Amino acid sequence: MTSAIPTEPIGSIPRPPELLQAVQDHAAGKTSLHTLEGAYDDAIKKTIRQFEATGSPIITDGEQSKPSFATYPVAGGRNVIESGGLVVTFSDRHVRALPKLISGPFRYQQYASDYVKKARGFTSLPLKQAVISASLLSTLYPEKSIQGYSREAFTEDLIQEVTKDISGSLRAGAEVVQVDFTEAPLARKLDPGGKLLKEFVAINNEVFSRLKPGERERVGVHVCKGGDWDSTHSGEVDYAEVLPEVFELKVPRFYFAIAGEADPDRTLKLRVIKAAKFIDLKNLGTTDDCGFAPFGDDSSTSRELAFAKIRARVDGTRRAEKKLR
């Protein structure tokens, strides 16, 4: 039976301890790449089986083989350095430093379509694939221009690569592609005047404008206050300062992290039962509040708790459907 209220996951699931250990061992030169790839495959299969058991009508691979939701395209690239880019400070004062580009051209080392192809071999259920936004990757270009590679040239290469990432994921079998735009509230935090957020929206819209007919209808944008180790980077930013610009994005689907808000009813009235009074059911859906481990080393949430929350989302949505009939 087709659900009256669609429900989708966001993406990441905490990696199992044995995978985290395999990643550490490979980084220390203790194990081979072959061994690490086997650990990735085992984690993906295990995650998909657990995802299927939740009853979720669409699933993900849990981003088990992504180093992070943000940096997977450039991991291992010879023309990037691991730090030196945008530094993001979270509410518990820990930081994440994004990579920095040191020479051109900008090219992806890993496309999300490869994750889809791998996961497609382990399940027949519809798959959702998360990709990183052009706006966040735009911060890789340093303030000082790169000799022989202008910011304009970088921006054009970036837009082409992100477009390829989205289109390739859809062709590989993803039912829907989710563009992670968690930096939207961060942009407002860094630039209260709003110029940075407008620039971020503009570059993302340029990507969306280059998608082929029929592709954009299967793309959505995810916005949250940034989650990592049970803290956020922009929790103090009011969604009211972000949503008008976000809704300028030329896509049909939006995923917002609402449950963690101090007053979730105030933020777009997105609780299912109450929201149905204001929004046609065909335009309303439920989703997880955020990814459970956007960065690969985040083990602050257990896999058991993550899947329990997913089951609660699925069951809660079904109960809401019955109550609204």
Query: Is residue 316 in some structural domain?
Result: no
* Separation of CA 231 from chain center: 17
- The string of DSSP codes covering 15-84 is PPHHHHHHHHHHHTTSS-HHHHHHHHHHHHHHHHHHHHHTT-SSB--TTTT-SBTTTTTTTT-TTEESSS
Query: Is residue 324 in some structural domain?
Result: no
Give pLDDT tens digits for 226-238.
889 988 898 899 8
Q: What is the pLDDT of residue 263?
A: 62
Q: Can you tell me the mean pLDDT for 273-291?
A: 71
Query: Is residue 104 in some structural domain?
Result: yes
For the chain, percent of residues with pLDDT exceeding 70: 91
- Read off the pTM: 0.92
Residues 135, 199: Cα–Cα separation, whole Å: 8
Exposure string of 93-106, with b = 16+ CB inside 10 Å and e = fewer, is: eeebebbbbeebeb
What is the CB neighbour count within 10 angstroms for residue 147?
Answer: 8
Task: Domain of residue 153: give its range.
Answer: 65-298
Query: Is residue 166 in some structural domain?
Result: yes
Instruction: Indicate which CATH number applies to the domain containing 190.
Output: 3.20.20.210
Query: Is residue 42 in some structural domain?
Result: no
Mean pLDDT of the chain: 91
Phi-psi region of 288 (alpha: psi -120 to 50; beta: other; left: phi over 0): beta
pLDDT tops 90 at residue 51: yes
Number of domains comprising the chain: 1
Compare 271 and 105 and report the one with higher pLDDT: 105
Query: Is residue 48 in some structural domain?
Result: no
Query: Is residue 120 in some structural domain?
Result: yes
Give pLDDT tens digits for 54-109.
999 999 999 999 999 999 999 999 999 987 889 999 999 999 999 999 999 999 99
Query: Is residue 43 in some structural domain?
Result: no
Strand 231-232, strand 253-256: pairing: unpaired
